[in-house]
Amino acid sequence: MKFSLSIAMSPLDQLTELAVTAEQSGFSSVVLPDSLFYSEEVSADYPYTPDGNRFWNEETPWADPLVATAAMGAVTSTIEFYTSVLKLGSRNPVLLARQVNSVAALTGGRFGLGLGVGWSPEEFEWCGAPYARRGKRVDEAIEVLRLILDGGMVEYHGEFFDFGKLRMSPTPPKRVPFYVGGHTEVALKRAAKYADGWSSAMMKFDDLRSTIGRLRELLAEAGRADAPFEYQAVCIDSFGVDGYRAQADIGVTDVITMPWMFDGIGFDGELSAKKDSIRRFGDEVIAVVGGERG
């Protein structure tokens, strides 16, 4: 089992030191969230809280995840990075491929692309992308990204995206893995079709177990039952050594966690306190559970 550190909503001047400490403490990856802006009003509910409200405000800091990865990659050597999840629906995939290509090269291949559609109509419309038919558009965007990032001279002619032969160089030093987020049936089908893994938002253990079971069914239907596949989980009611072993038993391969929250330290807590929490988690959890079940 692997453990990944979420740095969501931490002050930006803490990120590089958090990454270094995570690397030293046995974490496999740093997980980066994505939010383009905070609109005063939104015309859709946030899908991952019971009341549909956002749990951050206009003052909450968000770094562009690719820029943040480049900064953290420059001060580390082994830890990997992935987005959980980058909102693809409001982005142009050709421009995004250039950014991903660059950050993958600059980090020596230590980058994975976690992708989601996006939930806020304002993020789509104000970035020049239509909210309507967003799922189909994202499916094409994933195809475009995979095509370009795999290297060589390529072209694409689809309903939403169309371009002649082009090549982006250099090709990433190794294949960039794609992870798809989302809890709906259509999101799970997208993960089973296109992705190297699935990334959850906040879920209870029983819901996580049933979702992983459904993903396994969909992977089998897609002829991918034996393909390597990551299950990246943010489980909100199963913690500690026994809790993480229980997560491994239901198929979780990568626990996404924020150790300082267990110590009562908030998103904007002191850097030294967060580093202490990371080290303690490494000693008490990763050293015990990290090598189990791969």
Phi, psi of 172 (to 5 degrees): -50, 145
pLDDT of residue 292: 86
Q: Quick: pLDDT tens for 199-226.
A: 999 999 999 999 999 999 999 999 999 9
Whether the pLDDT of residue 293 is over 90: the answer is no
Q: Are strands 154-157 and 162-166 parallel, antiparallel or unpaired?
A: antiparallel
Give how far Cα 197 sits from Cα of 9, 110, 129, 163, 254, Å. 24, 16, 26, 28, 10
Tell me the C-alpha distance between 190 and 156, whole Å. 20
Give how far Cα 4 sits from Cα of 82, 144, 214, Å. 9, 28, 23
Q: Quick: pLDDT tens for 22-68.
A: 999 999 999 999 999 999 999 999 998 889 999 999 999 999 999 99
Residues 6+ apart with CB under 8 A from 77: 23
Q: Which pair of tokens denotes residue 205?
A: 């253990």
Tell me the C-alpha distance between 49 and 30, whole Å. 23
Residues 6+ apart with CB under 8 A from 138: 88, 89, 115, 117, 190
Whether the pLDDT of residue 294 is over 60: the answer is no
CATH class of 2-291: alpha beta
**Would you call 10 helix, strand, or coil by DSSP?**
coil
pLDDT of residue 285: 97
pLDDT of residue 291: 83
pTM: 0.96
User: In 10 A of CB 77, how many CB atoms?
Assistant: 11
Tell me the C-alpha distance between 4 and 258, whole Å. 9
Q: Quick: pLDDT tens for 172-186.
A: 999 999 999 999 999
Task: Match 């929250």 to its residue by tokens.
Answer: 261
What type of residue sits at position 243? G
Task: Count how many residues are written for the chain.
Answer: 294
Q: Which pair of tokens denotes residue 20?
A: 């270094």
Q: What is the enclosing helix (H) or strand (E) of 256?
A: strand 254-257
pLDDT of residue 218: 98
pLDDT above 70 covers a percentage of the chain that reads 99
From start to end of 149-251, where are the E strands? 154-157, 162-166, 178-181, 197-203, 230-235
Tell me the C-alpha distance between 80 and 109, whole Å. 8
Tell me the C-alpha distance between 33 and 206, whole Å. 24
pLDDT of residue 122: 96
Tell me the C-alpha distance between 124 and 104, whole Å. 26
Whether the pLDDT of residue 263 is over 90: the answer is yes
Tell me the C-alpha distance between 67 and 73, whole Å. 10
Mean predicted confidence (pLDDT) in 79-93: 98
Cβ–Cβ < 8 Å for 100, 177 = no
